[in-house]
Amino acid sequence: MTYRSTFRAVGVIVGGRVIDPASGFDGVADVILDGKGRVERIERAGRDRRYERVPGAVLDAGGMIVAPGFVDLHCHLREPGREDEETVASGSAAGVRGGFTTLCCMPNTEPAIADQETVRFVLDRASSAPGRVYPVGAITRDREGKSLAEIAEMVAAGAVAFSDDGAPVASAGLLRRAMQYAHMFGVPIVEHCETPELSGNGVMHEGLVSTKLGLRGIPAISEEICVARDIALSRETGTHLHVAHVSTAGSVAIIRAAKAAGVNVTAEVTPHHLMLTDDWVARDFDPLYKVNPPLRTADDVTALRAGLADGTIDCIATDHAPHAEQEKDGEFDLAPFGTVGLETALGVCVKALRETGLMEWLLLIDCLSRRPAQVFHLPAGAIAPGAPADIAIIDPDARWTVTPDQLTSKSKNSAFYGWELTGLVKSTIVDGRLVHESNGARGRALPS
């Protein structure tokens, strides 16, 4: 029995605007679950009252959007090693609060997720978490970039992709061998694209703002050279390359050309890179705006949004990076990189993509659910008969202000404090069970 089985079962979700990117369906409907954690059928709202015979509860979703649960290909859950910052359970709880029913956690833990025992450890922790969690294994032993980790054994244990995230595989020769090896198992190689000798000790985007602030810069070319190198290796080996947290207009252009040429490459972008520019660092040198890759320019933000809209960038991923308060409370250049993002992702994306007129709900939900699930071949991202009943119920008009009290993540290092966001996840269902319900969410239990 998993922890999830202790949550209240949902039998039917009635009267919501069901948006299923996989089928293109967008209309008011009832979603009937089968009582075994799967979707049984979708039918016209109020067509009949058969649902009242479904064991379990009715969830009234009137005025709400009923979407596939979101899938995050890139988050940091800090377990093992920094359980003071986040755990698999607390990260998953933050995830379901943000509508994410599936999380893929990066291997830069202490020790790194670089062998089958650690993969199993994470999956064991995940079994008692409210949402689904899949580990991403390290490409190299201890993420040291020197020799290959035991990729086959980690695949067998349940790792869904491989990355040395936090750093690139600096050696092109070793990455080539990693791609050749991973190709045997059909798993993606996820690269944190950065050229260490170009980034140096940089702490923010290199440009006019870094020049004014006297902070060491990370040039855009640092990312772009690595993206180009990795795409060349992907083209040669045929291995699926997934570019993590794309941040520059140049990278978007390189990926667009590679896709047009048929290279097996996918990419993700974070909500904060879709919303913020390096100008935010100039507001009092606040380390909450210190992320890697760094916040770039307005032109980059425009290119990232366009790249996501036209499919060059496949999906949105949070790069949720929790840090203890004292680590982000000091000098900018000494603070660690990263912002939490699971609970603000939807609202920030609404602001960046919907309120700018760039996306309708269907495409936005696609970028958060179906598309990422496809990238890592995960059983998620659809509301369809037989699909896992992983569902996010969204109040599209709810406005809320981001404050530390609003976040359930163990760490509170959000770059969006004080922002008023539109779009709130009212309820989240995993395996047919209600794992999150925010205040004011409408729901009632059927009389037994």
List residues near other proteins by CB under 8 A.
Answer: 207-208, 211-215, 282, 284-285, 326, 329-334
Query: Residue 83 or 286: which CB sits closer to other proteins?
Result: 286
Q: Parallel, antiparallel, or unpaired for β 315-316 and 265-269?
A: parallel
Least distance (Å) between residue 329 CB and other proteins = 6
Q: Is 30 a catalytic residue?
A: no
Query: Residue 212 or 399: which CB sits closer to other proteins?
Result: 212
* Interatomic CA distance for residues 394 and 150, integer angstroms: 41
Query: Residue 217 or 338: which CB sits closer to other proteins?
Result: 217
Least distance (Å) between residue 294 CB and other proteins = 14
Encode 319-354: b = buried (16+ Cβ within 10 Å), e = exposed: bbbbbbeebbeeebeebebbbbbbbbbbbbbbbbbb
Query: Residue 164 or 278: which CB sits closer to other proteins?
Result: 278
Least distance (Å) between residue 414 CB and other proteins = 16
Query: Residue 326 or 439: which CB sits closer to other proteins?
Result: 326
Least distance (Å) between residue 283 CB and other proteins = 9
Q: How far is CA 31 from CA 137, 227, 379, 389, 448, in A?
A: 35, 42, 18, 10, 20
Least distance (Å) between residue 206 CB and other proteins = 8
Query: Residue 261 or 334: which CB sits closer to other proteins?
Result: 334
Q: How far is CA 344 from CA 41, 307, 399, 403, 412, in A?
A: 31, 21, 12, 11, 12
Which member of 319, 366, 390, 431 is catalytic?
Answer: 319
HSE-up (13 A, CA, CB side) for residue 422: 10
Nearest CA to 431 out of 394, 392, 391, 381 is that of 391
Least distance (Å) between residue 269 CB and other proteins = 25
Q: Which residues participate in catalysis according to the annotation?
A: 319
